[in-house]
Amino acid sequence: MKTLLGKKIGMTQIFTEDGQVVPVTVVEAGPEVVTQIKTVETDGYNAVQVGYEDQKAHRVNKPMTGHYEKAGVAPKKHLAEFRIEDGETYELGQEITVADFEEGMKIDITGISKGKGTQGNIKRHGHHRGPMSHGSKHKRLAGALAAGTYPSRVFKGNKAPGRMGRDKITVQNVVLVKVIADRNLMLVKGAVPGKKGGVVRIRPAIKGQDK
């Protein structure tokens, strides 16, 4: 199943032919090149490794330099791989672009969500705040964690303050509204995880694909 790496550019809106407004996220996807072909004989499974975005040669260590030279491609910043389905064939150095995806199809997009640092219960978990009256002393605190006598401990998995964001998130069944092949752009309906400039992974939807 083809996988395409790209960068989130930002959000905008477009108009359909019947005048409806569609919010879209602009993704600069690819082009990426095949850097390795994995087989059952050599690696235990069939897959294709792809590289995205050129990297300066002096920033690549010697083992990876040899890896790219073997494939006959320039050093890349980002690597990913995807499993090969029956009938799919690839060659080293082959390019995969947005032209391999059709407008109107559904795709899954994976990205790293925005990091928000350490946050309290209210922002992190949506808990209610305490009374705001004068002297309550309990406006945005976490509250009781457990009973004192029994069980005399805090259960694992309690929703507590802590790090928020910077998680791997996949949005499924996103509609690919428009493909601008000459600029390597995809316009997908709705929001996409991550910040502007963040790397995302795009592939055909696993569930809900129209047949």
Domains and CATH numbers, the chain: 1-29+101-132+158-210 (2.40.30.10), 31-96 (3.30.160.810)
Residue 33 pLDDT more than 60?
A: yes
Tell me the C-alpha distance between 191 and 200, whole Å.
Answer: 12
Residue 67 pLDDT grade (very low, low, confident, very high; cuts 50, 70, 90): very high
In a 10 Å sphere around its CB, with 0-12 CB exposed, 13-18 middle and 19+ buried, how is residue 186 labelled? Answer: buried
Candidates 30, 31, 28, 21; CA nearest to 189 is 21
pLDDT tens for 149-167 read: 898 999 999 999 999 999 9
Average pLDDT of the residues in 110-130? 94
Two tokens at 121? Answer: 């219960």
Candidates 59, 13, 51; CA nearest to 35 is 51
